[in-house]
Structure 1
Amino acid sequence: MSGWGLGWFGGGSQKQKDAPKKAILQLRAQLEMLNKREKHLQLQADEQDALARKYVSTNKAAAKTALRRKKQFEHSLEQTAAQIMTLEREIYSIETANINRETLEAMRNAGQAMKQIHATLTPEKVEDIMEGLREQHDIGQEISDAITQGVGNNLVDEDELDQELAELQQEKLDEQMLKTGTIPVGDKVDRLPAAAQHEPKGKARVEEDDEEEELRRLQAEMAM
């Protein structure tokens, strides 16, 4: 029996691997026959019990004979029930052992598969791969930064920005002049139109006096 068990778990021949299945089939066939025998014996015992009850008052000898047969059937019935229990226990034991064997076989195959995988894969190799990936990510980031910087330099020119800002300031100044008819006091001379900056100083002085007058007038109105 021990050699048979070693054959199961040691990955023996196909015949040894099929032995549990064959044993279970034989046990199940025998169990089916015993179940049928148990039913038959129970019917026989019931019949003898019925005869004993029938002749208990009229024919004691027949009743006694029926009881004797009933006892024989009941004894056979007990033996059959014990055999059924034994077969059921053996079937369960073999099925459990077979499941254990298949589980161990699956675990053994898993171990072999892991060995094959790790045969060409070590922690050092993994670290080298990860280091290579990090380097490639860094290179990609540098390339992206370089492309972004190049695009930004081509699209933005500081001189153009200054020129556009000056034009916007001039537009705002022109709008204020159209609305009030005077140049806002807070605006500097360098924000005036180019022609105004080159006018004679005397004329510019007169305009400044006008601005001062306008400013005083506004202050007086606000104080009212």
Structure 2
Amino acid sequence: MWSWFGGQSAQKRRDAPKEAILKLREQLDMLQKREKHLENQIVEQEAIAKKNVTTNKNAAKAALRRKKMHEKNLEQTQNQVMQLEQQVYSIETANINQETLYAMDSAGNAMKRMHTGLTMEKVDSMMETLREQQALADDIAQVITTTPFGEQVDDDELESELADLEQETIDERMLKTGTVPVSDQLNRLPAAANGELKGKAKQTEEEDEEAELEKLRAEMAMG
């Protein structure tokens, strides 16, 4: 996008702020050491002046002069430190802005490469194809989940087969025992006849119970 972001010269321009910041920080380190030294000298000369203020005024004055000189140098050094710190801050801010622009330019170029050959018409066509395929997949899933597997068996056919099985069971019992169970006989009769036989069986059972009771009464009377 911008020509100054490309080539070897551009790389040098990108490295220049870092080199400048490095040199400024080295100078700052030296000035800060000088600042500390001057502060110590001021304290030392003040102590000498206090020591000789009553006994040796000339020595005390000389110490005060040296103190004033150190204070002046300290003020200059502190001003230099402030100037260098301001320069470091400015260069760092400018470098951050430059790196931000470079990152944005790289991102723009990357997006441009990704979008090469793409148009809104192609995108619309791709989305329409995706929608069609999704609809087809939904239809297939619907068919798969709703269509039963295999042929459905008729209930009447099942009932007929069940009756055949019951008849085979009864026939096997007849071959083994020579008799047909009453319950099986009743089950094999039509509903009306089946009900009539069950009624007669119940009546016979009641008559047998009455006869048994009469027999008991007679025995008790004889006793």
Which category describes the TM-score, using the shorter chain as reference length? Answer: 0.5 to 0.7
Q: In structure 1, how many angstroms separate the alpha carbons of the residues matched to 2:29 and 2:44?
A: 23
- Output the amino acid matched with 1:44: Q
Q: List alignment gaps of at least 5 residues for structure 1.
A: 1-6, 189-206
**Given the alignment, which residue of 164, 169, 180 partners 2:183?**
180
Q: In structure 2, how many angstroms separate the alpha carbons of the residues matched to 1:19 and 1:183?
A: 112
CA 1:129–1:54 in structure 2 vs 1: closer, same or farther (change >3 Å)? same
Q: Which residue of 2 aligns with 1:156?
A: 151
Q: Which residue of 2 aligns with 1:88?
A: 85
**Greater CA deviation, 116-125 or 31-40?**
116-125
TM-superposition CA deviations, 1:68-103 (whole Å, max 9, x none): 210110111111112112211211221122112111
Q: Which residue of 2 aligns with 1:129?
A: 126
**Given the alignment, which residue of 108, 111, 120 partners 1:111?**
108
Q: In structure 2, how many angstroms separate the alpha carbons of the residues matched to 1:51 and 1:211?
A: 139
Q: Which residue of 1 aligns with 2:54?
A: 57
TM-superposition CA deviations, 1:16-66 (whole Å, max 9, x none): 222211211221121111112112212221221121011111011210121
Do 2:49 and 2:60's aligned partners in 1 also have CA atoms closer than 8 Å? yes
**Given the alignment, which residue of 142, 163, 166 partners 2:160?**
166
Q: In structure 2, how many angstroms separate the alpha carbons of the residues matched to 1:110 and 1:34?
A: 42
Equivalent position SS for 2:115: helix
Q: Which residue of 1 aligns with 2:10?
A: 13
Q: In structure 2, how many angstroms separate the alpha carbons of the residues matched to 1:219 and 1:135?
A: 77
Q: Which residue of 2 aligns with 1:30?
A: 27
- Output the amino acid matched with 1:48: Q
Q: RMSD of aligned C-alpha atoms?
A: 3.8
Q: List alignment gaps of at least 5 residues for structure 2.
A: 171-179, 207-223
Q: In structure 1, how many angstroms separate the alpha carbons of the residues matched to 2:97 and 2:91?
A: 10
CA 1:221–1:178 in structure 2 vs 1: closer, same or farther (change >3 Å)? closer
Residue correspondences, number:
191
Q: Who wins on radius of gyration, i.e. which is larger? A: 2
Do 2:4 and 2:10's aligned partners in 1 also have CA atoms closer than 8 Å? no
Do 1:48 and 1:70's aligned partners in 2 also have CA atoms closer than 8 Å? yes
Q: In structure 2, how many angstroms separate the alpha carbons of the residues matched to 1:124 and 1:219?
A: 93
CA 1:53–1:129 in structure 2 vs 1: closer, same or farther (change >3 Å)? same
TM-score by length of 1: 0.67
Q: Which residue of 1 aligns with 2:198?
A: 214
Do 2:46 and 2:63's aligned partners in 1 also have CA atoms closer than 8 Å? yes
Q: In structure 1, how many angstroms separate the alpha carbons of the residues matched to 2:30 and 2:22?
A: 13
Do 2:28 and 2:85's aligned partners in 1 also have CA atoms closer than 8 Å? yes
